[in-house]
Amino acid sequence: MNHGDEFVSEADRALEETYEEPKSLAEYVDEVFETPRIASHASKYLLEAIEAAGTRTVVEEGEEKERYRFFDDPHNDGEHAVLGNTEVLNAFVDDLRSIAAGRGKDEKIVWFDGPTATGKSELKRCLINGLREYSKTPEGRRYTVEWNVATADDTRGLSYGEESPVDEDQWYESPVQAHPFSVFPAEVREGLLAELNADNDDHIDLQVDERLDPFSREAYEYLEKQYRRRGASDLFSTVTDDAHLRVKNYVVDVGQGIGVLHSEDEGQPKERLVGTWMRGMLQELDSRGRKNPQAFSYDGVLSQGNGLLTVVEDAAQHADLLQKLLNVPDEGTVKLDKGIGMDIDTQLVIISNPDLEAKLNQHAEKNGMDPLKALKRRLDKHEFTYLTNRSLETELIRRELTNETAVWDGDDDAVEEKVAEPLTIEIKGSDGTVRERELAPHTVEAASLYSVVTRLDDEDLPAGLDLVDKALLFDRGYLQDGDERLEKDDFEFADDGGANGEHGIPVTYTRDTIADLLHERPDRHHPELNVEDVIMPRDVLNAMAERLTDAPVFSPGERTEFENRVVPVKNHVFQRQEDDVIDAMMRDRRVDEETVAEYVDHVYAWATDETLENERGERVDPDPLKMKVFETEHLGRFSPESYDGNEPSPAVRQFRTEKVITALNRHAWERRDEDFSVGDGDGSDSSTAETPSHNVDLTEIPVIKSVLESHDWDDVARIFEDFDPRQWDDPPSGTETAAVKAETIQNMVEMFDYSEASAELTSRHVMGQVSYKWD
């Protein structure tokens, strides 16, 4: 099989899995009793689609939350994922649950409000994508009806287009996705639903209250009239015989179960809501002085969204329409014309920027005389805000600059690596040549952290924290202060959540600033280095702060406030670069875990004053010299003067007891359900006990983790006695500084994905600051 045939066959298989053969009404009812969810009403179906994708745990504003994966756009590899705003989305799902169950809010119109670039447009696309893909799955099948009146004698035809049907084309689908149950008379439908819901284990009952849509009603009444003339018995079963009526599944999409009213859409309110009469069709059809629903376009937003979802985007552009929607949620009815009504089952969602709220409040001072009061009462507001998580903002900026769409869903360490990653972008010049520009490690992170810092409320900062600390706390849920881990609950913040995310630098400003830098040559004073194509964190931070003055989107007060917040961000990013340089310098001088485990065993034996047995079955007696050497050389916490010979001073004793032993005991307690023990644990009189390194991941204990992973300049000076950071830019050949530099640059490339150019610039920047205090 050639490639063309292979892909055509694959497409055939995909469609076979998506579509079913049409079925009779009776067959459909039987299937509903087997799988009730295929008959779900609009809000229930939307809820089921969201819940079907599952959940995951995220940290936002420093707190763990359960997030519905549906909003990560999983069917499209995250292309239109809604980043952040999990609490807002969860509240939306809670509202859907109440609406679907008929427990209230039935009359509400769901309103998503918020500044530009907060993810509202992504939400619309995510809803469309998710519902479309869910409707292709067996559990998400969606059904409507189609009619054929040509099989009845003396037919005058049935259509809502201009072409006359022939053969199989004589079947016409309900133009508004009518629910198959709407074919049944009201009293029969009530009994059917009562029996279904009695046997249904779901916590939400099925609700189908709609009458047949006008187009289908025209077909039904025509067929009924034809067969009544002939004296047919069993009139309903004759009219709905599969020669005239079929139930078919359809794939949800815009225009078919989803209606979207765009900002640029025009027309009279009724035209935008339900559609228009087609004069040519009215003249063609023999309607005997009445308007025939066959001659209606059904292209309005409610017609397209009937059966599932209606979205009005940029709602301020359609403010005149909102009042026309007042009674749709609770009455579920609109009119094509004075005498022709259409029942609607749809979940109404409107999306707007803050300008809609300004329009709604224009008469607020009139109090009880406010003409928009009824509309405002019907709106159920969910407010999107700017992201306040550094990692999410980093992910968003990378999306804006590249084609990356994958949602970051890893552990803390994996996400932290992604945050720090460099980014290489190809730029095409005016001469047609293409060159690569590198955003050095921590550059995108710097831009995202600065953006987040401008969005945080500084009025509820706990003592000892600055806005960068708050941003990191919101991002991770904790702060690591040396050996101590401080959780968000350890700090007091405003009970109402403060004004976090309500204003600040939007991602569009950050994206445009970086895009401008990508097309500019940096002003570097290193002609001997090939660094023109490297953009450093300080380049982006300086540009973002300096260009605030020329950005009309910011007020004078905001410009001043944002400019003042850049310094702590620069300091934090420098610390990140400094850590990279030190880690690269000390890469081959790290203490191995076996050495650390030996130290822990000796400390535990020292503290318990007993002989222990390590994992190799060897007896371990506390060795004062080994502990002293580790604490002075590897740990770097104490000098030889802290010991009387090999006997520890009170400070050393306190460290061993509080930092090492306490950490081990806490680790054991937290994992007490995982069969973890630090002794025999059986109450026997054995002469030796297990060492605590048994079954312990030492890297999970803060003080041990710091020994294994962290170093400082004192460690550098102790190990490289002849190293001089003042020689870093151009170290003399044959010196220890030259050797350390070569090794460090290479390690930065291998460990942290620096290029040689960005490693050179970063290490020069760090050494330039360190050299001032080296002596």
With a cut of 50, say whether residue 516 has pLDDT above it: yes
pLDDT for 617: 63
* 3-class secondary structure, 155: coil
- Token pair of 702 as six digits: 């803060």
Closest CA to 602 of 668, 675, 660, 544: 660
The arithmetic mean of pLDDT across residues 274-289, rounded, is: 75
- Give one DSSP letter per residue of 601-613, joined into a string: HHHHHHHHTS-EE
Separation between Cα atoms, residue 439 and residue 422, nearest integer Å: 5
Q: What is the pLDDT of residues 71-96, one digit of tens each?
A: 999 988 999 999 999 999 999 999 99
- Please classify residue 298 by burial: count the beta carbons closer than 10 Å to its beta carbon, then call 0-12 exposed, 13-18 middle and 19+ buried: buried
Helix runs in 650-712, H state only: 650-655, 662-670, 702-709
Distance of CA 466 to the CA centre of its chain: 27
Separation between Cα atoms, residue 695 and residue 677, nearest integer Å: 8
440 within 8 A of 534, measured Cβ to Cβ: yes
- Please classify residue 338 by burial: count the beta carbons closer than 10 Å to its beta carbon, then call 0-12 exposed, 13-18 middle and 19+ buried: exposed
Separation between Cα atoms, residue 133 and residue 393, nearest integer Å: 27
The arithmetic mean of pLDDT across residues 645-654, rounded, is: 92
Non-local CB neighbours of 361 within 8 Å, separated by 6+ positions: none
Separation between Cα atoms, residue 679 and residue 361, nearest integer Å: 69
Separation between Cα atoms, residue 298 and residue 172, nearest integer Å: 14
C-alpha neighbours within 13 Å on the C-beta side of residue 572: 24
Q: What is the pLDDT of residues 375-420, one digit of tens each?
A: 888 889 999 999 999 999 999 999 999 989 999 987 888 999 999 9
Separation between Cα atoms, residue 115 and residue 59, nearest integer Å: 22
> What value, to the nearest 5°, has the Cα angle with vertex 164 and ends 158 and 165?
70
Separation between Cα atoms, residue 92 and residue 100, nearest integer Å: 12
Strands (E), 327-439: 333-337, 340-343, 347-352, 379-383, 423-428, 434-439
**Size (the chain), residues:** 775
Q: Report the run of H or E that residue 64 belongs to, with start and end.
A: strand 63-68
746 within 8 A of 732, measured Cβ to Cβ: no
Separation between Cα atoms, residue 445 and residue 395, nearest integer Å: 9
pLDDT for 680: 41
One-letter amino acid for residue 295 of the chain: A
Q: pLDDT band for position 678 (50/70/90)?
A: very low
- Token pair of 334 as six digits: 């609109």
- Token pair of 684 as six digits: 């026997």
C-alpha neighbours within 13 Å on the C-beta side of residue 672: 5
pLDDT for 319: 84
pLDDT for 189: 95
One-letter amino acid for residue 133 of the chain: E
pLDDT for 134: 96
With a cut of 90, say whether residue 770 has pLDDT above it: yes
Pick 63 or 712 by higher pLDDT: 63
pLDDT for 589: 77
Separation between Cα atoms, residue 376 and residue 322, nearest integer Å: 10
Helix runs in 487-565, H state only: 507-518, 537-546, 556-564
- Give one DSSP letter per residue of 232-253, joined into a string: -SSHHHHHTSTTTEEEEEE--E
What separation, in Å, do the N-terminal and C-terminal C-alpha atoms of the chain show? Answer: 74
Cβ atoms within 10 Å of 744's Cβ, excluding its own: 22
With a cut of 90, say whether residue 224 has pLDDT above it: yes
692 within 8 A of 601, measured Cβ to Cβ: yes
For the chain, the average pLDDT equals: 86
Q: What is the pLDDT of residues 345-357, one digit of tens each?
A: 999 999 998 888 8
- Token pair of 162 as six digits: 């201009």
Give me the residues paired with residue 383 across strands: 113
188 within 8 A of 154, measured Cβ to Cβ: no
One-letter amino acid for residue 494 of the chain: A
Tokens 């049907």 correspond to 165
Strands (E), 362-499: 379-383, 423-428, 434-439, 478-481, 484-487
With a cut of 60, say whether residue 15 has pLDDT above it: no
With a cut of 50, say whether residue 157 has pLDDT above it: no
pLDDT for 616: 61
41 within 8 A of 182, measured Cβ to Cβ: no
Q: What is the DSSP letter of 277?
A: B
Q: Report the run of H or E that residue 311 belongs to, with start and end.
A: strand 309-312
* 3-class secondary structure, 643: strand
Q: What is the pLDDT of residues 680-696, one digit of tens each?
A: 434 344 445 555 555 56
Largest interatomic CA distance in the chain? 116
The arithmetic mean of pLDDT across residues 173-202, rounded, is: 93
748 within 8 A of 584, measured Cβ to Cβ: yes
Q: pLDDT band for position 677 (50/70/90)?
A: very low
Q: What is the pLDDT of residues 592-619, one digit of tens each?
A: 778 888 888 888 888 877 666 666 666 7
Q: pLDDT band for position 50 (50/70/90)?
A: very high
* 3-class secondary structure, 74: helix
Tokens 């224009």 correspond to 362
Strands (E), 651-736: 689-690
Separation between Cα atoms, residue 3 and residue 124, nearest integer Å: 36
With a cut of 60, say whether residue 167 has pLDDT above it: no
Least confident residue range of 111-120, 278-287, 561-570, 759-768: 278-287
One-letter amino acid for residue 136 of the chain: K
The arithmetic mean of pLDDT across residues 155-172, rounded, is: 57
Cα-flanking dihedrals φ and ψ of residue 528, to 5°? Answer: -80, -10
Cβ atoms within 10 Å of 105's Cβ, excluding its own: 19
With a cut of 90, say whether residue 443 has pLDDT above it: yes
